[in-house]
Amino acid sequence: MADEAYLIGPAPSAQSYLKVDRIIDTARTAGAEAIHPGYGFLSENPEFALRCEQEGLVFIGPTSQAIRAMGGKTAARSLATHAGVPVVPGTTRDLTDEEVLQVATEMGFPVLIKASAGGGGKGMRSVSAEAELAGAIRAARSEATSAFGNPAVYVERYLDCARHIEMQILADKAGNVVYLGERECSLQRRHQKVVEESPSPFVDADLRRRIGEAAVKLAKAASYTNAGTLEFLVDSAKNFYFLELNARLQVEHPVTEMVTGLDLVKEQIRIAAGEPLSVRQEEIQLRGHAIECRIYAEDPFNNFMPSPGRIQVLRNPSGPGIRIDSGIYEGCEVPLYYDPIVAKLIAWGQDRSEAIGRMRRALREYAIIGVKTSIPFHHRILDHPQFQKGEFHTQFLERWLAEGFKEESGRLAEIALVAGALYLHTRKPPSPVSVSQAARSESLWKLAARHEALRR
Ligand code: MV4
């Protein structure tokens, strides 16, 4: 869909997408005025934002200073504390191993050891008793060193069974800051989000206003500009605690776009161009409910193993309230080099139940053949009574998966497709045994994919 394309280097991101010089050179070659950094790669890299500033290119995001100030978790925590925004009880400086023990003992278990330079759950270890402490410190420091090149850690009280709620903000260069409502992001597996929604079924108007005002206060204290997301934990008593600020547009921003009617990338570009926000706080209305399913090319029935390969058949769902942000097409190759997300399926409805209904229908219509996807997993989540009641928390998915997650019921549509392929191939009704064997055979998938009758 791009008007122009430039080669930035070989497929591995360390030799292309993460090479600051290559990106700057390419922007020069293309005659670009500005760079939108996307969600990953260099999007929260203060050196990259600084290089853009120095080269006279507009970085569509916060200033390098603001990115740097929010990149350190302990610094962000003390900024929040000074701004009067509640944080999870814990330390605001880096600790030695002895200090970790001392703080944990004073605070009482369970505690969470977190990488000071980190974010997104990397270098994070929960500890429920003193005996586990030494091992957890070692693991957290080593993960922090390889991920961030910095072994520093600090300690927070571990909030079990809390909700992970994030608040979207926009801030222009004139100092206007607005909040655009929350996203419920508690459904995660190994710190990968699986389903997000807005509004959160757990957040009422009063809590939304209190979290929103806290987010605006913190953004102003940090002289933050452009789009940003503040992560909070909310406990069952509806106390909220600031966790970290993500200084970029996030993958799940479409659910906020669907309920606010705003185009967040357009707002980002306006802000970067020095224009004021297009809306005032009192003009922002949250309408209806939106849910996003992140479609990953991985096998939910085989421990979520990445499943690269060629997309043989692709049929996108459509209809009222359905949006797909996707990077795949029939015949394309899903590479192993990058994050396995291949599409985002978003459903909007007048209320949560209509959004769920539309999402379930769209998931049924979605046909991706050639790679395994998380679609059957999404069916199971949307069918779960606790999801439907809106009663879940950050531990929900991991605990449910630990109980065992069975293959059969989620695979009915795929098994029907294989049965159809077998029938067309042999002109005989296939036996259940041959279908279930065939469903595990790659060559049959390819056969099914080639059958024109089935494609239609
Ligand atoms: C926490 C927490 C509980 N207590 N901090 C995960 C990503 C990072 N941004 C912050 N995260 C969390 N921090 C305290 N003090 C729970 C999470 C968390 C989580 C933890 C385990 C399994 C899934 C999770 C999903 C979202 C947030």
DSSP for 72-118?
Answer: SHHHHHHHHHHTT--B-SB-SS---HHHHHHHHHHH-SSEEEEETT-
Choice from 70, 154, 164, 230 to test ligand 1 binding pocket (greatest atom count within 8 A of CB):
164
Q: Which atom of ligand 1 approaches the CA of 188 most closely?
A: 25
Look at ligand 1, atom 15, and give the residue with the nearest C-alpha: 158
Residue pair 195/292 in contact by the 8 Å Cβ criterion: yes
- The residues carrying an active-site annotation are 248
CA of 398 to the centre of ligand 1 (A): 12
Q: Please determine, for residue 446, whether its predicted confidence score (pLDDT) is greater than 70.
A: no
Q: Which atom of ligand 1 approaches the CA of 157 most closely?
A: 15
Integer Cα distance of 75 and 248 in angstroms? 18
Which range among 170-184, 333-347, 429-443 shows the weakest confidence by mean pLDDT? 429-443
Look at ligand 1, atom 19, and give the residue with the nearest C-alpha: 394
Which range among 174-188, 195-209, 372-386, 415-429 shows the weakest confidence by mean pLDDT? 415-429
Q: Please determine, for residue 452, whether its predicted confidence score (pLDDT) is greater than 70.
A: no
Look at ligand 1, atom 11, and give the residue with the nearest C-alpha: 121
Q: Which atom of ligand 1 approaches the CA of 160 most closely?
A: 3
Q: Which atom of ligand 1 approaches the CA of 156 most closely?
A: 15
Of residues 391 and 404, more confidence is placed in 391
Query: Could you tell me which residues come within 8 angstroms of residue 367 by beta carbon, excluding any fewer than 6 positions away?
Result: 313, 314, 315, 417
Integer Cα distance of 289 and 200 in angstroms? 9
User: 223, 98, 117, 188: which is closest to 381 by C-alpha?
Assistant: 188
- Rounded to 5 degrees, what are φ and ψ at 163? -100, 145
Q: How far is CA 154 from its chain centroid?
A: 24
CA of 101 to the centre of ligand 1 (A): 21
The alpha carbon torsion through 185, 189, 193, 199 (nearest 10 deg) reads: -20
CA of 121 to the centre of ligand 1 (A): 7
CA of 393 to the centre of ligand 1 (A): 10
- pLDDT value at residue 414: 66
Integer Cα distance of 417 and 435 in angstroms? 10
Integer Cα distance of 308 and 314 in angstroms? 15
Categorize the per-residue pLDDT at 450 as very low, low, confident or very high, splitting at 50, 70 and 90. low
What is the DSSP pairing of strand 309-310 with strand 367-369? unpaired
Which range among 99-113, 239-253, 298-312, 423-437 shows the weakest confidence by mean pLDDT? 423-437
Q: What digits encode the pLDDT tens for the residues 163-210?
A: 999 999 999 999 999 999 999 999 999 999 999 999 999 999 999 999
Choice from 124, 163, 189, 200 to test ligand 1 binding pocket (greatest atom count within 8 A of CB):
124
> Averaged over 119-147, what is the pLDDT?
93
- pLDDT value at residue 317: 97
Categorize the per-residue pLDDT at 355 as very low, low, confident or very high, splitting at 50, 70 and 90. very high
What's the whole-number average pLDDT of the chain?
93
Integer Cα distance of 337 and 306 in angstroms? 11
User: 130, 81, 134, 80: which is closest to 110 by C-alpha?
Assistant: 130
Number of neighbouring beta carbons within 10 Å of residue 163: 24
Categorize the per-residue pLDDT at 451 as very low, low, confident or very high, splitting at 50, 70 and 90. low
Look at ligand 1, atom 6, and give the residue with the nearest C-alpha: 121
Choice from 188, 235, 240, 398 to test ligand 1 binding pocket (greatest atom count within 8 A of CB):
188
Q: Please determine, for residue 409, whether its predicted confidence score (pLDDT) is greater than 60.
A: no
* Percentage of the chain exceeding pLDDT 70: 93
Residue pair 163/393 in contact by the 8 Å Cβ criterion: yes
- pLDDT value at residue 310: 95
Categorize the per-residue pLDDT at 410 as very low, low, confident or very high, splitting at 50, 70 and 90. very low
CA of 423 to the centre of ligand 1 (A): 49
Categorize the per-residue pLDDT at 121 as very low, low, confident or very high, splitting at 50, 70 and 90. confident
CA of 396 to the centre of ligand 1 (A): 12
The enclosing H or E element of 325 equals strand 322-326
CA of 243 to the centre of ligand 1 (A): 8
Choice from 183, 229, 243 to test ligand 1 binding pocket (greatest atom count within 8 A of CB):
243
Q: Please determine, for residue 92, whether its predicted confidence score (pLDDT) is greater than 50.
A: yes
Q: Which domains does the chain have, with CATH numbers?
A: 89-157 (3.30.1490.20), 163-402 (3.30.470.20), 409-450 (no CATH)
CA of 33 to the centre of ligand 1 (A): 38
Q: What digits encode the pLDDT tens for the residues 254-275?
A: 999 999 999 999 999 999 999 9
Look at ligand 1, atom 20, and give the residue with the nearest C-alpha: 394
Integer Cα distance of 265 and 316 in angstroms? 24
Which range among 18-32, 381-395, 396-410 shows the weakest confidence by mean pLDDT? 396-410
Residues with CB under 6 A from ligand 1: 88, 112, 119-121, 156-159, 162, 164, 188, 191, 231, 233, 243-244, 394
CA distances from 126 to 97, 139, 355 (A): 15, 11, 35
> Averaged over 202-226, what is the pLDDT?
98
